[in-house]
Structure 1
């Protein structure tokens, strides 16, 4: 029951964040797009927002294994993929989301691994992926 609540909460959080990417927080999210990304920052913000909305919906609508675990694994992979943006915000001293000091930005970095673990554990991703791999042998 706790895992289901955790999965639903993560889904709602991603829906909220994704909506923020497309609306009121759009400019704030620009601070997390590293300058070395060879794409327009606004495109990256919008695209990642769309992905977050899709992942949020998938987390809220997918409850059976192994699909549930697959959604969790993809969500965790997304959190890994956007982690360089959090690192860039820290190393380039970019203010956004109230993170206006190196200490605040550094503390924020610690939360990204927690999001990854949250996605994997709430969805039962690791056992589900093991089951899928064993079926293919």
Structure 2
């Protein structure tokens, strides 16, 4: 049933755009934006901030490439990416609570907008891969 769900052209385009966004974010994690990403790692996490940034960059790279190229498992990839967005949300909350400046987010309003955008990314991952439709059909 997973493979038989139809996807619209808009879904395909937005899935590829999101995958490309994730690949670009991964490149930033692993290279020129490492310090910016380290600023978002919550202090309570019992791992090196650099290790967290590197590992999350690798996960982003795998998920981004999977969003673009792994046609057979798009729904599962969409669910995995949505879960990833949920798991990194505490970093965004920490940036807001600690008033940490990173990525040009240098005001509480800017950091709050980012917090509000995270559910959009979750929805985007689920909808663009057909996972949202799959989850609703599965419940019926």
CA displacement 1:24-46 (0-9 Å, x = unmatched): 00000011100000000000000
2:25 match: 17
Kept in 2: contact 1:14–1:56 (CA 8 A): yes
SS across alignment from 2:44: coil
1:42 match: 50
Distance 2:81 2:136 in 1: 17
Kept in 2: contact 1:90–1:102 (CA 8 A): yes
Aligned residue among 51, 56, 59 for 2:64: 56
1:107 and 2:81 equivalent? no
Distance 1:97 1:23 in 2: 15
SS across alignment from 1:96: coil
SS across alignment from 1:100: coil
Size of the aligned set, in residue pairs, is 132
Kept in 2: contact 1:70–1:129 (CA 8 A): no
Residues 2 and 41 (structure 1 numbering): CA distance in 2 closer, same or farther, change over 3 Å?
same
Report deviation, 1:133. Answer: 8.2
Aligned Cα root-mean-square deviation (Å):
1.5
Distance 2:113 2:136 in 1: 33
2:126 match: 120
Give the TM-score, by structure 2 length.
0.89
Gaps (5+ residues) in structure 1? none
Kept in 2: contact 1:59–1:72 (CA 8 A): yes
Report deviation, 1:63. Answer: 2.4
